Chain A
Amino acid sequence: MTTTQTTATPATQKLGIATTLALIFLLFSGLIFSAEDVVQGSTVRIMYVHVPSIWVAYLAFALTAICSAVYLSNRSRSLIWDRFAGAAAEIGVLFVAVSLVTGSLWGRLTWGTFWVWDARLTSTAFLFITYVGYLAVRRLGGTFRQRARRSAVMALLAVLEIPLVHFSVNLWRTLHQKASIADPNAKVKLDGFMLFTLFWGLISFTMLFVWLLIHRQRLMALEDAVQDQGLDLAIQQRRTEAGR
């Protein structure tokens, strides 16, 4: 059976191709087509990866929390929600890391330092270690249900950090600049093609996230299914001990 050898379906294959094309276009748009910034020069191009990365991380962690809440409130306690939560959190941690690395490279070139302990950077670092802890909880062992219950509680607590991180630049004075486009009462502070490239980055990274998420979830489902099929087999074997 081909379906057992891959986690792809025609739909996700199409999504994968579309994501690849979108990312290739982002590469050209970000590195060649878009202009340098008056102050930053070429450094501004880091933004096209930095901002979409943290956006994907927010999206992933929010999804983790939503799936966890559904898992806890749903009487059937379907494990598919737990798998989506776990898959999203893994991807989210990866993208926070990407955002932190690209951000500190940009900081070195623009601010003159890799890292400062202002409210935005501190809270982002905090977000990162919290979700590393979340992934550690998922690896504690025990049954699937134990894993799901423990991690769901933690996900619901951890997601509260996202507004803290995002609005830290508005609540306090930070070295990190405020949002340039997500600020409701300010006009967009990016020139035309830069804005387009940034939007393109957001779209293509979101596609990448969805594609990764579906595959990771299916992989986890397969792992669980292997264990479940193993259970049927194991029950049969166990019964033969009794001579039946």
Chain B
Amino acid sequence: MDLTPRPIADAESRAQRQRRRWVPIVIVALALAAGGVVVTQFLTSAIDYYCNVDEVGVRDGCVGQRRIRVQGIVLENSLQQADGVTEFMMSFNNKTLQVRYQGDPGGVFQECIPVVAHGRVVDGIFDSDRIEVKHTNQYVEKNKSRFDEATKETAACSQSPE
């Protein structure tokens, strides 16, 4: 058998080696850019945690009989609690939705605050089994607001939702 050392493929030039290193890096960069587009443009409705009240029955992923999460502000003077059932009106963008919830919502649940309710729309009423309070990114000192307690009562509900 012929055992002459097998000739070696020509060594690459430096430029070729450099170029070969760049190809995968460019692919990674392109793929990441594509990923950014997919995630921000096409997946928003899938990744969004909730539908707003005005989108129920309208937006993709907020329609039908399926379980959804709805965000809105608890309307002033709409809160009624009796026999472990909490009922209130939730509003967003001039649309309102009636919510019925079994049990006592936790956290800092109160009127004039944005909340996220989990559940289904049954006969026009949102039947919820879980409520989370959505805190805004506003922080207001209590001591300071004590001076204008009167204005707070009326102003709090008008605080701009996100």
Chain A interfacial positions (CB closer than 8 Å to B):
34-41, 43-44, 47, 108-113, 116, 118-119, 160, 164, 171-175, 177-180, 183, 189-194
Given A38-B140, A191-B141, is A111 in contact with B49 using a C-beta cutoff of 8 Å?
A: no
Asked if residues B48 and A172 are in contact (CB atoms below 8 Å), the reply is yes
B139 within 8 A of A: yes
Instruction: Report how far A183 CA is from B136 CA in the complex, Å.
Output: 14
When distances are taken between beta carbons in the complex, the residues of chain B under 8 Å from A172 are: 44, 47-49
| Further contacts, 18 of them, CB under 8 A, given A171-B40, A189-B136 | A35-B142, A36-B142, A37-B140, A39-B140, A47-B139, A110-B108, A111-B106, A111-B133, A112-B131, A119-B49, A160-B32, A164-B39, A175-B49, A178-B162, A179-B137, A189-B139, A191-B141, A194-B141
B132 within 8 A of A: yes
Q: Which of B107-152 contact A (CB under 8 A)?
A: 107-110, 113, 116, 130-145, 152
B71 within 8 A of A: yes
Asked if residues B106 and A189 are in contact (CB atoms below 8 Å), the reply is no
Instruction: Report how far A163 CA is from B44 CA in the complex, Å.
Output: 16
Q: Which of B39, B106, B139, B141 contacts A171 (CB 8 A)?
A: B39
The 8 A CB mask of B25-47 against A (1 = contact, 0 = none) is 00000001000000110001001
Asked if residues A35 and B49 are in contact (CB atoms below 8 Å), the reply is no
B50 within 8 A of A: yes
List the A residue with the shortest CB-CB distance to B145. Answer: A38
Asked if residues B132 and A111 are in contact (CB atoms below 8 Å), the reply is yes
When distances are taken between beta carbons in the complex, the residues of chain A under 8 Å from B144 are: 35, 191
Instruction: Report how far A193 CA is from B139 CA in the complex, Å.
Output: 11
Asked if residues A177 and B134 are in contact (CB atoms below 8 Å), the reply is yes
B141 to chain A, nearest CB (A): 4
Q: Which of B69-124 contact A (CB under 8 A)?
A: 71, 105-110, 113, 116
Please give the number of chain B residues whose Cβ is less than 8 angstroms from any Cβ of chain A in the complex: 35
List the A residue with the shortest CB-CB distance to B44. Answer: A172
23 contacting pairs across A/B (C-beta < 8 A)? A35-B144, A36-B142, A37-B139, A37-B140, A37-B142, A38-B140, A38-B141, A38-B145, A40-B139, A108-B107, A110-B107, A110-B135, A111-B133, A112-B107, A116-B132, A164-B39, A172-B48, A177-B135, A177-B162, A178-B137, A189-B138, A193-B141, A194-B139
**Residue among B44, B105, B142, B145 facing the most chain A CB atoms (10 A cut-off):** B142
Instruction: Report how far A39 CA is from B143 CA in the complex, Å.
Output: 12
When distances are taken between beta carbons in the complex, the residues of chain A under 8 Å from B133 are: 110-112
When distances are taken between beta carbons in the complex, the residues of chain A under 8 Å from B137 are: 177-180, 183, 189
When distances are taken between beta carbons in the complex, the residues of chain A under 8 Å from B47 are: 119, 171-172
List the B residue with the shortest CB-CB distance to A42. Answer: B142
**Residue among B49, B105, B136, B152 facing the most chain A CB atoms (10 A cut-off):** B49
Q: Which of B107, B136, B143 contacts A177 (CB 8 A)?
A: B136
Asked if residues B108 and A39 are in contact (CB atoms below 8 Å), the reply is yes
When distances are taken between beta carbons in the complex, the residues of chain A under 8 Å from B138 are: 180, 189-190
